Structure formats: structure tokens, C-alpha cells
A = this chain, B = another copy of it.
Amino acid sequence: MRKRVAVLGATGLVGQRFVALLANHPWFELIALTASEGSVGKRYVDVVRWFVEKPILEELRDVTLAALNADALVKDGVEIAFSALPTEVARGVEVELAKKGVVVVSNASSMRLEPDIPLVNPEVNADHLGVIEQQRRIRGWDGALIKIPNCTTAILTLSLKPLIDEFGVNVVIASSMQAVSGAGLSGLPSMLIIDNLIPYIEGEEEKIESESRKILGSLGHRSIELNDHISISTSCHRVMVLEGHTIAVFTGLRRDASLEEVLRAMSEFRTNKIKDLKLPTAPERPIVIRNEPDRPQPRLDRLEGGGMSVVVGRVRGDAALRGVKYEVLGHNTVRGAAGTGVLIAEVLKERNLI
């Protein structure tokens, strides 16, 4: 029997990615879509500006948009709520739902750094989901709250994990070139970005630096413990690309590694055995290596693994940091948001945590 799920904030870019991924999902049944007040009661197809590559599933077109009401969702039997709510709206309702027994998997940035709230990029730290037990005990919740990382953080940490596991990483310098979809449907006026780039995304660098330390940290006795062994510094830029964040990564490694070893570690990456779990949304290869000199490129590579793989290219030695440098690309609203959320829910179910 499929679990009953809802998407909160279903009309935005991340919301519609959730909808696309959950339509016809073998384990989840999408029974409710919420929207902001002005849209409640309207048909989904009449409100959403659909940007996903494949068309809206026929049976979802006519779904009536529901209000964001925890009681009503619980009454309808919603077991998992995928939240694409704006941060300022998210906190209250997500906590209320968790209290009332719903498992909330949320893309909102609120509460991401609290030590009993797992912040999960499944292939990197699915084991952090173990903190839920503690979360329930402390907070007295019947449900749970799990956070999806910031988009760039998800892409970066997935690419770093095999290097950390195999060789140790002491320093990471990363410059991101992020797609306009990361700012939301109306977030970035075209006047600002044509023949231009913007070397600043509010709060982004702080999120990457702090969230990475949590994701790359370890599951302690009662909470997630931050990684104190890695020093990360970033610069974030908005560029004229629709979807797909590219990151130029420079790393210092703790032990010498040949390029062959690095490439092998990345392409055979298996931590958390996500792949072996046969989860519907898990990509065959979480990290895909391209050997051409000019890849990855956002338009050509962002849909690799259905948008769930990150694509790495140009791996080469870095004498300045005594490590390797490379480019990594990921789909910011799939791997960087909705796709990771659905994958989290699949892990929870497969491991009988829900």
C-alpha cells in the first residue's frame, strides 16, 4: 500500500518538481497540493506555471488546490508532507504537522542547523536520520522533521564525500555559478542578468559553509556533531542559465592521491549504500564522471540520472592546495531540492523509520 503524501507550496519551481517526481510514484500516493490563499480552490493546472521538461501528469491537472491547514491535512490521512514553502511561512506549520504525527521533509531553510533536526543528502549522510528518535523524545513529536540541504550544498557535499572518505580533505575553496531558477519563478528580473552576472546571492555562502559542516559531520549520541576538520570558503554567483548549478572546486587532500585514485573513488562512490537499496529516485551513479575537456555543462548535463546525479569533470591536480580541483554540476531543483527530498522519504520508508 502506498503512503499518502502532500506537497506544501506546490506551484513554485521546487513545488512542481516535487509534483513531477511524486506523480505515479510506486511507494507514495499524492493526495494533496497546497497553495497560497489566493489560489486555494482553483485547479492546479490553472495556477501553476509549469516548467518541468515533461508535461503535468493528466490526473493532476484537475486537482483542486488546498489551503495550508495542518488539521485538514492530518484528517485527510497525509503521512508525509514534502514542503516547498517559503522560509517565513514554513517554520510554524512544519512543526505543527510534525507534532501531529506527520513526517515533514522540508526544503525551507529554517531550523536546518538545529542539532536534532537531520539535514540529509542521502548518499552522504543518510545515517543522520537516526537522530529522529532523539528528536521525537526531546520535542515530544509523533511525526518528524527532516531538512533538505541548500541546493549548492547538496551538489558540493556529494562530490566531496568520496574524497573525504578515501583521502581526507582539509580545505575546500568553491566558486559557484548558479542558475536563475534558484531564485524562484520571479526572483530574478531579466533586466539584471542579460549580458551580466551577479557575484552575490544573499545568505548563500553562509549556508554552504555551515550546512556542509553539519552534513559532513557525524551522528553523535544525542545529536549531529559538526565536522571540525574541514575548512570551507565559497563565493557564489548568479549566471544566465535556467537550471543547473556549476561549482569550481579546489581541495586540499590529507594524503597524496593519484588522479586515477580520485576518479575511481568518485565514480565508484557507495557510501550509505543508497544504490543497493533500489530506491526509485536513487540514480544509478550518484557521481558521473565526464572525460571531455569542456564538461560538465549545465544545458547538456543537468538531467543526468534524471537530475539526481552530479556530473564531475576536469579533475586535475592542484599544487597550490596540495590536492585536486574539479568542476561539479548538479540540477538545483532536483538534486538540490525536490529530488533529494523524495529520496530522503524513500530511505525512511526502506529503513522502516516511518
Q: Interface of A with B (CB < 8 Å)?
A: 13, 50-51, 53, 171-173, 175, 177, 180-181, 185-200, 202, 231-233, 235, 237, 239-242, 246, 248, 250, 293-300, 313-314, 318-321, 325, 327
Among residues of B, the one whose C-beta sits closest to the C-beta of A240 is: B240
Question: In the complex, are the beta carbons of B181 and A314 less than 8 A apart?
Answer: no
Chain B CB count within 10 A is highest, among A175, A185, A297, for: A175
Question: In the complex, are the beta carbons of B235 and A175 less than 8 A apart?
Answer: yes
CB distance from A96 to the nearest CB of B (A): 31
> Closest 5 CB pairs between A and B?
A175-B175, A233-B320, A235-B248, A200-B294, A196-B299
Question: In the complex, are the beta carbons of A171 and B320 less than 8 A apart?
Answer: yes
Question: In the complex, are the beta carbons of A233 and B194 less than 8 A apart?
Answer: no
The 14 sampled A-B contact pairs (Cβ below 8 Å) are A50-B300, A173-B320, A180-B190, A190-B190, A195-B298, A197-B246, A199-B246, A199-B248, A232-B320, A233-B318, A233-B319, A235-B314, A237-B246, A239-B239
Question: In the complex, are the beta carbons of B193 and A242 less than 8 A apart?
Answer: no
Question: In the complex, are the beta carbons of B235 and A325 less than 8 A apart?
Answer: yes
| A232 and B320 alpha carbons, distance in the complex (Å) | 6
| A151 and B194 alpha carbons, distance in the complex (Å) | 21
Chain B positions within 8 Å of A198 at CB level: 294, 297
| A174 and B297 alpha carbons, distance in the complex (Å) | 19
Question: In the complex, are the beta carbons of B239 and A200 less than 8 A apart?
Answer: no
Question: In the complex, are the beta carbons of B197 and A239 less than 8 A apart?
Answer: yes
Chain B positions within 8 Å of A202 at CB level: 293
| A198 and B318 alpha carbons, distance in the complex (Å) | 20
